[in-house]
Amino acid sequence: MAQINPYLNFNGDCEAAFNHYKSVFGNEFEYIGRFGEMPPSDGHVVSEEEKNKIMHVSLPISGDVKLFGSDCPAGYGPVRFGDNISISINTKSPEEAKRLFDGLSEGGKITMPLEKTFWAALFGMFVDKFGINWMVNYDEQPE
């Protein structure tokens, strides 16, 4: 069964926000990665200004629920209220990821196709036909 987590986007203050959330929830970051740590890809160069911004952070909240976040790269334009949160689904199989991605994105706008990335076996993003932002992720399961 898929796991759902909120994913928050910021205009450069993700680290400050998540340090605050960490102090309130009393948990440690499960992961924190910066844009400067990304491997090079297809000519994309991270500017000096963005190297220390947060690419992805994961903060366990309770049980299996995690709060995810990132700063939005300047090339995407500023994050606006209402566009600053997505529903992130972590699936148990590639088939489940494809089924959920295809079904939920039907009639919507795919912003990143479901494909292999350097951080996941499959990842994709879209805005559904009702204007809701979604992310679908599948990580290889250890044997």
- d(CA 63, CA 79) in angstroms, rounded, equals 29
- What is the predicted pLDDT for the residue at 43? 63
- d(CA 124, CA 96) in angstroms, rounded, equals 13
Residue with the bigger pLDDT between 50 and 53: it is 53
Residue 143: pLDDT above 60?
no
Instruction: Report DSSP state, residue 106.
Output: T
55-86 pLDDT, tens digit per residue, is 999 999 888 889 999 998 877 778 887 778 89
- Cβ-count burial of 21 within 10 angstroms (0-12 exposed, 13-18 middle, 19+ buried)? middle
Domain positions in the chain are 1-90, 92-124
Give me the residue label for tokens 């994105």. Answer: 105
Which token pair is 106? 């039907």
Kindly indicate the confidence band of residue 16, based on its pLDDT and cuts at 50, 70 and 90.
very high
> In Å, how far from its chain's centre is CA 110?
15
Q: Is the pTM higher than 0.85?
A: no
Choose the CATH number for 1-90 among 2.40.50.90, 3.30.70.870, 3.40.50.300, 3.30.720.100.
3.30.720.100
